[in-house]
Structure 1
Amino acid sequence: MRDAARAQKQDFRYPRPGKFPSETDADAARAEGKSVVVRFASPARDVVVRDEVFGDVLVSADQMDDFIIVKADGWPTYHLANVIDDALMGVNLICRGQEFLKQTSRHIQLREALGFAEPRYVHLPLIMDMKGKKLSKRDGDVEVDGFRRAGYLPEALMNFIALLGWNPKSGREKFSLDELVELFDISGIGKSNPKFDRNKLLAFNTDAATEADPEHLLKCFAQYLATTTSNIPADDKPLLRHLLQSNAGFRTFADVLNKADVLFAPDDSYEFDAKAVKKVLAKNEGQGYAVLTEIRPQLAEVAWEAEHLENWLKDYCDAHELGMGKVAQPIRVAVTGTTISPPIFDALVMLGQDKTLARIDRCLAEKQ
């Protein structure tokens, strides 16, 4: 019967027998190796779900069926367990996704049969992706821990999620946790399905990182590093503080990691990006390589502080009538393998003179 209904693209409804089976019938069926379940005999009447977001939702009698409440293995189904658990725990307000709205009629019937008080219901609209499809794990990180590992601040994620389906009715978007607690009201929840705009979340996080208390940001950055694979020492607070300052304006902690992690990796552990080599080092008959060859002995004599390095680079560029990028970028590619890093003088100071020279030597050697 179930297969026939599926073939006709119809919902299957269990046909109630003319006579309910007895316990003896159930025992006999078990003895024959048949599966035996317990079903709830739904009353033949409409059920109204009074929801504080969607209003009164009518589930007509012809949509109801005798649903299973105890499975063949003797365990209760979700419906029965949920109703009893909520009642015993004194739950008086149930908030859950809109997809459970239709099933709530079953829970109302069970509560009535068991003599339980009826709670308030708040069914929340579903969160969709930007194409209007239900958000799922296939869309990437959709779990809180996933966003934490991606380098988002907890307060930014909380603020963003709070506004998915809820309207504060003020036009304002940025709130602290205390403000959300004070202002939140069920009446602000809408019926339409909100879309999970990752670009907007990224903007929220960028602003939150810019406005965050430095010590709070430092703590969150250390926690982030502890959740991911990194060469940056997570317990070196002065270093972490410097990394955050030198990368001000970052969108997520992952941006800082992507730029700076290579500076703390073994000197021979990174690869040279082919596009970066072609664009910065090999272009114009190897101009970038030529610059590295010429400046290498000079870097060995420079006092290794950001100010001295900056003055040296400026003087070198002026003397050779070169733009800053014509020298800074070859150094960056040589010591990181890419064109992305913290500001070049900060990067060199953090790397240290000996490691900088060793990486330039490696870059020039690989050219050969």
Structure 2
Amino acid sequence: MSDIRVRFAPSPTGYLHIGGLRTALYNYLFARQNGGKFILRIEDTDRTRFVEGALENLINSLKWAGVEYDEGVFLDESGKVVEKGDCGPYIQSVRQSQGIYDEYIEKLLESGHAYYCFCTKERLDNLREQQKSDGIIPRYDGLCRSVSLEEAKQRIANGEEYVIRLKLPVNTDIVVEDLVKGKIVINTNDMDDQVLIKSDGFPTYHFAVVVDDHLMGITHIVRGDEWLPSTPKHVYLYEAFGWDTPVFVHLPTVLNKFRKKLSKRNDDVSVDDFINQGYTAQGLVNYLALVGWSPEGNDEILSMDELIKQFSFNRVSKTGGIFDRDKLNWVNAHYIREMSDEDLASKIKPYLQEAKMIDDAYPQEKLNLLAATFKESLDRLMDITEQAAFLFEDKVEITEEDAIEYSSKDHVSDLASAFIEELSGIEEVDLEFAKTVMKKIQKQTGIKGKDLFMPVRALLTGKVHGPELVNVIELLGKDKLIKRLEGLK
């Protein structure tokens, strides 16, 4: 087999979709496993749907996820779009402006595999409506198939608007061999004469993708299964040009828990959504790899190197993969727990600052302690603001049933008084004080066990369960501790 070359070829019509990231990831894993090349190409022939900033977001999202590509479109240090590689340009609109597609459409016209179509939008709309009312699947009726090349060129010279269509053979089976879906046979009588060049001169996806994949030496086309119905047209184009057909791999759709395709209306779908919520790159990538693919063993926590080693299209599901947020949270929590306290502190800091809980003057030692205190309970980085909120409030509301019960016991005021007495003898709360104060209160009051720890925790946090009490005492500090205890002694 020739050197493997795969590509991820999105359109800059919005921010990178979670399903798109999975497609890019599978391309990347396959290329790295086989010592091949992974290319990023931008398919922007539909200029009406172009979204400003989408290209930059795409590149940054792939970089964040650690999905590295070898050729294509990059951002330089100044944020400017640049291209690297020997098969450029890697942006279709640039390729179109350089006339790359002109040569190949001329070949199809000359060989009779394509034809000029002069049908107006009004005629096509009327045809579609008539076919619908007749219960026929709407498709072009081939009116212009009989227009000769000479007549077509004369009509173009006269100023008639046109598109160029693929001229499919009649009643011919086209076979697609797909590594995931298996063998697929479609008859041309059930297909449409696809537009290859639009009236604005831009190539359609179906034409440009074939030309570009061939010229860039793509050996395996790995993409979402929404492109499967179009693949027979692409296979026929390869045959029409006399080119070798690449291997096709159509991936199952990423579905939500209701087994519906992920949608912006009902689901978080962009990679940015997950970045903003505080998912780690390792957690999201590890989990995404498992949505539609399964490793041979039982391990579900897999590093990028382990994914590269184990990945195989043989174990990709034929049906849609369910995106399970609970499972994602479980995987992500593993990677959060693996962080050092210092690393986690730097990552939770922006969330705490945005919530106005801390500012730049907040001591780094305390921030590190905060990270260590909540590390075991975080599924996402953003969870820190909810879990740590009680530390930054002036007053804690005790609403939990057990906490109300323990904070209402007869000896609670004695505990509060004893705690305040210990605080009055120090300048500030440090680790030594936090570690020893409960023993001192026990000795002073004679109260121990649950009757000691549960009421104190309830007074300080509003709950009877939670993070390490020693850490809570140190994080609250002297003034906040006294405030919370004074109202209840």
Class of the TM-score when normalised by the shorter of the 2 chains: 0.7 to 0.9
Deviates more, 1:69-78 or 1:226-235: 226-235
Partner Cα separation in structure 2 for residue 348 and residue 284 of structure 1: 17
Give deviations 1:92-117, integer Å, cap 9, x for gaps. 11101111111111212223334443
Contact 1:281 1:287 in 2 (8 A): no
Aligned length: 347
Q: State the percentage of identical aligned residues.
A: 27
Give deviations 1:244-294, integer Å, cap 9, x for gaps. 33224224233334222553x5x66xx866x72998569998989978985
Q: Which amino acid aligns with 1:223?
A: K
Q: Which amino acid aligns with 2:164?
A: V
Q: What is the RMSD computed on CA atoms of the aligned residues?
A: 3.8
Query: 2:472 corresponds to which residue?
Result: 347
Query: What is the 5 A alignment of 1:83-94?
Result: 83-94=210-221
Partner Cα separation in structure 1 for residue 157 and residue 242 of structure 2: 29
Q: Residue 22 of structure 1: which of 129, 136, 152 is its match?
A: 152
Q: Residue 169 of structure 2: which of 11, 27, 43 is its match?
A: 43
Deviates more, 1:247-256 or 1:100-109: 247-256
Q: Residue 326 of structure 1: which of 430, 455, 460 is its match?
A: 455
Contact 2:257 2:322 in 1 (8 A): yes
Query: 1:146 corresponds to which residue?
Result: 273
Give deviations 1:147-171, integer Å, cap 9, x for gaps. 3332333323222222222232233
Contact 1:259 1:341 in 2 (8 A): no
Partner Cα separation in structure 2 for residue 255 and residue 129 of structure 1: 22
Give deviations 1:293-319, integer Å, cap 9, x for gaps. 857853651542312432355457645
Q: Residue 223 of structure 2: which of 77, 96, 102 is its match?
A: 96
Query: 1:13 corresponds to which residue?
Result: 139
Partner Cα separation in structure 2 for residue 114 and residue 169 of structure 1: 40
Could you tell me how far 1:196 is from its partner in structure 2?
A: 1.7
CA 1:279 to 1:172, structure 2 compared with 1: closer, same or farther past 3 Å? closer
- Greater percentage in strand: 2
Query: What is the 5 A alignment of 1:213-362?
Result: 214-215=339-340, 218-219=342-343, 222-223=346-347, 225-226=349-350, 229-230=354-355, 231-232=357-358, 238-252=365-379, 253-260=381-388, 263=391, 265=392, 276=399, 297-298=420-421, 300-303=423-426, 304=429, 305-315=433-443, 318-319=446-447, 322-333=451-462, 342-358=467-483
Unaligned runs of 5+ in 2: 1-126
Partner Cα separation in structure 1 for residue 274 and residue 387 of structure 2: 19
Q: Which amino acid aligns with 1:255?
A: D
Q: Which amino acid aligns with 2:457?
A: A
Give deviations 1:153-210, integer Å, cap 9, x for gaps. 3323222222222232233333222122112222222212222222222222333444
Could you tell me how far 1:347 is from its partner in structure 2?
A: 2.3
Give deviations 1:215-242, integer Å, cap 9, x for gaps. 3x64355235447725356896544432
Contact 1:53 1:186 in 2 (8 A): yes
Specify the SS of the correspondent of 1:353. helix
Q: Does 1:192 align with 2:319?
A: yes
Query: 1:159 corresponds to which residue?
Result: 286
Q: Which amino acid aligns with 2:286?
A: N
Could you tell me how far 1:39 is from its partner in structure 2?
A: 1.9
Partner Cα separation in structure 2 for residue 242 and residue 283 of structure 1: 27
Give deviations 1:41-72, integer Å, cap 9, x for gaps. 22222211111111221111112111112222
Give deviations 1:2-23, integer Å, cap 9, x for gaps. 2344456653101111532713
CA 1:322 to 1:122, structure 2 compared with 1: closer, same or farther past 3 Å? same
Query: 2:252 corresponds to which residue?
Result: 125
RCO higher in 1 or 2 (8 Å CA, sep ≥ 6)? Answer: 2
Specify the SS of the correspondent of 1:249. helix
TM-score normalised according to structure 2 size? 0.60
Specify the SS of the correspondent of 2:322. coil
CA 1:249 to 1:223, structure 2 compared with 1: closer, same or farther past 3 Å? closer
Could you tell me how far 1:355 is from its partner in structure 2?
A: 3.9
Give deviations 1:76-127, integer Å, cap 9, x for gaps. 2221222222223222111011111111112122233344432111111112
Contact 1:98 1:124 in 2 (8 A): yes
Query: 1:106 corresponds to which residue?
Result: 233
Q: Which amino acid aligns with 1:346?
A: N
CA 1:258 to 1:9, structure 2 compared with 1: closer, same or farther past 3 Å? farther
Q: Which amino acid aligns with 1:332?
A: T
Specify the SS of the correspondent of 2:142. coil
Specify the SS of the correspondent of 1:75. coil
Q: Which amino acid aligns with 1:198?
A: R
Partner Cα separation in structure 2 for residue 284 and residue 9 of structure 1: 73
Deviates more, 1:54-63 or 1:80-89: 80-89
Partner Cα separation in structure 1 for residue 468 and residue 195 of structure 2: 64
Query: What is the 5 A alignment of 1:65-84?
Result: 65-84=192-211
Contact 2:459 2:484 in 1 (8 A): no
TM-score normalised according to structure 1 size? 0.77
Specify the SS of the correspondent of 1:169. coil
Partner Cα separation in structure 2 for residue 7 and residue 191 of structure 1: 35
Q: Which amino acid aligns with 2:187?
A: S
Contact 1:260 1:342 in 2 (8 A): no
Contact 1:314 1:324 in 2 (8 A): no
Contact 1:53 1:187 in 2 (8 A): yes
